[in-house]
Structure 1
């Protein structure tokens, strides 16, 4: 009997501890959509306001949950950051997102997710006092589809691409962005004026999201889902040309399975990057990590031979 009571106590304690780890909040509601986020608060917050990390999970805009971002959010909170992992509309659910998809639908998926990330950002700006957040120190991160979301949310013209009535302040700028296996549709969006500190990581033989410059899924130009993308390697070199602050981690010959690598297995690298950014430490570095794999990407480039 005592043994059973002890086991019950341990189970209840475990459930309670997990429940207290984060708060689930609604950050956006309209007539058709309700969106939530899981918020992780540092156990000890000083008098100074805390920086914020907002994370966007991957899943091809068709699957995935905000729980996928708990690992990086939890670690960031343990290092003094307020951190949130958000849900967003999975617009490509039951739609085709590969070569036989529709280009305009792909772009719309990017646009909806980016707008909802802007709404999550606006939620924290409006509630900055409540959650003790320094709104000049807001970072965004994402894996795969989430990475494409954060890249476009950072560099798109918000007035042009906005779909909701409430807008971020015109002067607002993210403090930095962390992209795992992401890509952007137009490198020209990143200029000397708009560039912000960026940590990028990517498998060099990713067959889904190009590491360099190529079509999404390496689709041929005569298909309905053709979309040119500029991946991490192209973004990194472009930022170097702008003399910006950037770091690239390349998983040599790795595929799309590395899209969550730093977030799940080495989150301190993400926190170190954010800390360095907040301390005005400029970085221009490229780290190549061997995966002991062979490149099977369609164009055969490994970028790390």
Structure 2
């Protein structure tokens, strides 16, 4: 009997794996570069259009690869969502993205990555019918550098900052943003009109990307690579002031090693988030996960000691 149960589990597991499809597609190519994306698609029983989550990996704009989040793509596809994990230009490869780097080069790396994300978005909008994607339900997400791409893709002026000739529709707006240990360079870009539902996670002791407002890589102000960033907690407070939907998971005492949490151990949080946004439900929450330090309930919010 036990043997049959094991055999049944293997068959069901195999069928479940086959229920998702992965397509590798070139979304941009010129004389010097080819950029691909992996598109994870659910197996459909109806012709209902599929919501899409765009994803950018982390790696300091110098490393990483789109295939690192295959489990996340498969998980979301199993639950009815498409995921496009994109490659983007690693402009800082063999360059210093830290304190001894050059500020203008660091900003350029982000701008190139964002332009690649906009290019991927434009490509998928143009080919939405081919893959049965719902162009009104496109989320954007990322880890660390990928989350910085996501933040700026949402809030930068597309016409001003885009480096390519790709075209997004005039009134295009991402449906929501999911970011692991990311930050934005100018918090004032997040306005009441532009703000979208947001799910963030961050360690409050992150020395790479500040949890609140601070310098990238904790660089001193006299460093050539000094760059001020507004991290997840700063964004959380700002969006609450704007009365906009945001959820933040804080790892109390945690560092940058928790940047991938939402896409690894916390996939269910992402699924719950996109489900909630698409149902039109409101939310505002701040979950503390204690690690090295205790959490303290002060009434309205939980804080790390």
TM-score w.r.t. structure 2 length?
0.90
Alignment partner of 1:183 is 2:183: yes
Q: Bigger CA drift: 100-109 or 20-29?
A: 20-29
- List aligned pairs for 1:10-49, cutoff 5 A: 21-49=21-49
Q: What residue in structure 2 maps to residue 228 of structure 1?
A: 228
* CA deviation string 1:48-72 (max 9, x = no partner): 1010011100000001000112222
Q: What residue in structure 1 maps to residue 287 of structure 2?
A: 287
> How big is the shift at 1:290?
1.1
Residues 236 and 248 of structure 1 are in contact (CA less than 8 Å); yes or no, is this contact kept in structure 2?
yes
Secondary structure in 2 matching 1:41: strand
> How big is the shift at 1:96?
0.3
Secondary structure in 1 matching 2:169: coil
Q: What residue in structure 2 maps to residue 90 of structure 1?
A: 90
> How big is the shift at 1:33?
1.7
- List aligned pairs for 1:199-238, cutoff 5 A: 199-238=199-238
Q: 2:240 and 2:134 mapped to 1: Cα distance? A: 28
Secondary structure in 1 matching 2:281: coil
Q: 1:59 and 1:293 mapped to 2: Cα distance? A: 27
Q: What residue in structure 2 maps to residue 7 of structure 1?
A: none
Cα distance change on mapping 1:268 and 1:112 into 2, 3 Å: same
Q: 1:139 and 1:71 mapped to 2: Cα distance? A: 18
Q: Bigger CA drift: 41-50 or 98-107?
A: 41-50
Alignment partner of 1:258 is 2:253: no
> How big is the shift at 1:75?
0.9
Residues 293 and 304 of structure 2 are in contact (CA less than 8 Å); yes or no, is this contact kept in structure 1?
no
> How big is the shift at 1:46?
2.1
* CA deviation string 1:1-33 (max 9, x = no partner): xxxxxxxxx9xxx9xx78x84111101112222
Q: 1:198 and 1:242 mapped to 2: Cα distance? A: 13
Q: What residue in structure 1 maps to residue 126 of structure 2?
A: 126
* CA deviation string 1:134-178 (max 9, x = no partner): 101000110000000000000000011011011211210000000
Q: 2:49 and 2:39 mapped to 1: Cα distance? A: 16
Q: What residue in structure 2 maps to residue 298 of structure 1?
A: none
Residues 183 and 231 of structure 1 are in contact (CA less than 8 Å); yes or no, is this contact kept in structure 2?
yes
- List aligned pairs for 1:74-85, cutoff 5 A: 74-85=74-85
* CA deviation string 1:68-87 (max 9, x = no partner): 12222111111101111111
Secondary structure in 1 matching 2:285: strand
Residues 254 and 293 of structure 1 are in contact (CA less than 8 Å); yes or no, is this contact kept in structure 2?
no
* Unaligned runs of at least 5 residues, structure 2: 1-9, 295-302
Cα distance change on mapping 1:115 and 1:45 into 2, 3 Å: farther
Q: What residue in structure 1 maps to residue 54 of structure 2?
A: 54
RMSD of equivalent CA atoms: 1.7
Q: What residue in structure 2 maps to residue 242 of structure 1?
A: 242
Q: What residue in structure 2 maps to residue 137 of structure 1?
A: 137
> How big is the shift at 1:45?
4.6
TM-score w.r.t. structure 1 length?
0.90
Cα distance change on mapping 1:49 and 1:21 into 2, 3 Å: closer
Residues 56 and 69 of structure 1 are in contact (CA less than 8 Å); yes or no, is this contact kept in structure 2?
no
Cα distance change on mapping 1:221 and 1:45 into 2, 3 Å: farther
Q: What residue in structure 2 maps to residue 146 of structure 1?
A: 146
Q: 1:76 and 1:267 mapped to 2: Cα distance? A: 8
Number of equivalent positions = 283
Q: 1:172 and 1:288 mapped to 2: Cα distance? A: 34
